[in-house]
Amino acid sequence: MFATMGALGLAPTAQAATREPAFDAPRKSDFTLSGKGAAKVVIVGGGIAGLTSAYELGKAGYECTVLEARDRAGGRNFTVRGGDTTTDLYGNRQTAKFTDGHYMNAGPARIPQWMITLDYCRELDVPIEVFTNINADAYIYNESAGMTSPMRYRTAKADTYGYVSELLAKATDKGALDAELTSDDRERLIEFLKDFGDLGDTLDYTESERRGYSVVPAAAGTPEVRCSNVPTASEVLATGVGRYFSFEFGYDQAMLMFQPVGGMDQIPRAPVRAIGAPKVRTGCAVTKITDTGGGVTVTYTQGGRTHQIDADYCIGALPPNILAKIPHNLGTGVQSALEAITPQSAGKIGLEYRSHWWESDHNIYGGITETDQDVVHIWHPSYGFHGERGVMIGYYNYADTADAYAKLTPKERENRAVTTGVKIYGDKYLTELASSFSQHWRQFSHQEAAWHDTPGGPDDARYKPLNEPSGRVYFAGDWLSYTAAWQHGAFTSARKAVTALNRRVLA
């Protein structure tokens, strides 16, 4: 039939099909600077904000140069691959031993679907895939609450929602909410709670298939066997598992979430290609910023030698704690504003394993295990399923806990993280381990922060000197946004800065 339709011209023939161009996804350019400018701009900092500034200004006709202190662009967007070497401020030197195709995203690792970050992935041809933020089969382990073995996320939710629904349904049924609800309201609420908590007609939570199975239903002769030993309401509440559920309701944490295929650093690599690699100078540590009235002079060192670059304008896109250390003549208001923004701590460790035992032994594909231990979060990889090897994030912790880990040697960090993981997953957490690599941002040169706290919000009066140009110097970074720590914040802040600069030039 299809061949006949093709002969009649009603369907493409096989020969015609081979001539069709490959599908090219539509590119949404939701941001375009109006008019064409003609000015030279030096951008201090090659993170997401700096690269975005150069990319957008370049499209509008500006001559841009990016100065980046490290040997790579991307800033905190850092994907660790085999062969990558770092030395932290404590002197700990590490070289990653991950095998080809495996990596850890040491900085940003997930992208909500509403963020502008995905618009740039589309525009710059960065393929994306799903990042599994929530997994019903991942674990919760609260040792301080007396748990001696982990609980599946699905089981914890079934029991918590079940008992809370039972308590509210019975209170409603006994008239405890008569002052707040009409009789119709009460009936509707009870029907909702019966479904939400999987309650019986007696409004009792006894058990639920939502908890999971000890024997999974299969062929004839193998009926389901539901998990037994349902705890009491008091026992469930005592575990503290319920405090993890609100995480998935957060606007910036709700599924679906995404990641670039092949590592988060595919994002900064794309604008570097678009800008032109020679215009992104790495290994250039800025030592002075001077507004000359008619332009800006930036002094920097590269390869042990001091250089200067003159431009019409400058965009300061370094972390504020780093910018605050650079001598400048931009005024005390700028300096005070920079110093008011507080750097925060976070750390991660990537554990490469010789097999995907979490898939084969635990049936966990992606997602995050939550724990009250100092590892805080354990991430299962959302790529390379059924692969020979895989990299788990053995801890993602913050604040004082991250700083305490940072003071350890890399091997001590590994031992401490693995000791905790064995409690949750068993011996393979140790015996299948091939290598590790740990990253702590407060102790990482030229960054010295995982993200920043901007007290009062970025529109607070104290940050006015940063939200407006200081002479011919503009500022950009996620720290000047309402989404600090997200690349979205860096993108939007850069767009704000280049819009103001462009209007000034055109005027």
Reported as a single tens digit per residue, the pLDDT across 344-368 is 999 999 999 999 999 999 999 999 9
Percentages (nearest 5) of helix, strand, coil residues in the chain: 35, 25, 40
Query: Averaged over 291-314, what is the pLDDT?
Result: 98
Task: Please give the Cα distance from 320 to 427 (Å, whole number).
Answer: 44
Q: How far apart are CA 242 and CA 416, in angstroms?
A: 26
Q: In this structure, are residues 447 and 75 in contact, taking their beta carbons and an 8 Å threshold?
A: yes
* Residue 24: predicted pLDDT: 53
Work out the angle between the directed axes of helices 266-275 and 116-123 (0-180°, nearest 10): 50
What pLDDT, on a 0 to 100 scale, did the predictor assign at position 308?
A: 98
Domains of the chain and CATH, by start:
37-74+265-341+456-506 (3.50.50.60), 79-139+255-262+346-440 (3.90.660.10), 144-240 (1.20.1440.240)
Q: Which of 115-124, 175-184, 237-246, 493-502 has the lowest average pLDDT?
A: 175-184
Statement: residue 222 has pLDDT above 80: yes
Higher pLDDT, 178 or 315: 315
Provide mean pLDDT across the span 392-401.
98
pLDDT > 70 in the chain, percent: 94
| Helices within 174-205 (DSSP H only) | 183-196
Q: What average pLDDT is seen over the chain?
A: 94
Split at pLDDT 50, 70, 90, the class of 178 is confident
How long a stretch of residues is the chain?
507
- The rounded distance, in Å, linking the Cα atoms of 122 and 134 is 24
Q: How far apart are CA 96 and CA 108, in angstroms?
A: 18
- The predicted-structure confidence for 124-146, as pLDDT tens digits, reads as follows 999 999 999 999 999 999 999 99
Confidence class of residue 66 from pLDDT cuts 50, 70 and 90? very high
Model-wide pTM > 0.75: yes
Bridge partners for 245 per DSSP: none
Q: Residue 445 is which amino acid? A: S
pLDDT tens-digit readout, 303-333 = 999 999 999 999 999 999 999 999 999 999 9
Judged against a pLDDT cut of 80, whether residue 204 lies above it is answered with yes
Q: Which residue has the higher pLDDT, 305 or 1?
A: 305
Contacts of 60 (CB under 8 A, 6+ apart): 33, 35, 36, 37, 498, 502
**What are the structure tokens assigned to 265, written together?**
């650093």
pLDDT confidence of residue 51: 98
Sorting pLDDT into bands at 50, 70 and 90, what band is 16? very low
The crossing angle, in degrees rounded to 10, of helices 487-506 and 116-123 is: 70
List, in sequence order, the alpha helices (H) in 258-390. 266-275, 320-323, 332-340, 357-360
pLDDT of residue 273: 97
Instruction: Give the model's confidence band at 29: pLDDT under 50 very low, under 70 low, under 90 confident, else very high.
Output: low
429 within 8 A of 423, measured Cβ to Cβ: no
DSSP, res 248 = G
Residue 3 has a pLDDT of: 58
pLDDT digits (tens, 9 = 90+) for 248-290: 999 999 999 999 999 999 999 999 999 999 999 999 999 999 9
The model's pLDDT over 72-124, given as tens digits with 9 standing for 90+, comes to 999 999 999 999 999 999 999 999 999 999 999 999 999 999 999 999 999 99
Q: What confidence score (pLDDT) does residue 7 get? A: 55
Per-residue pLDDT, 35: 87
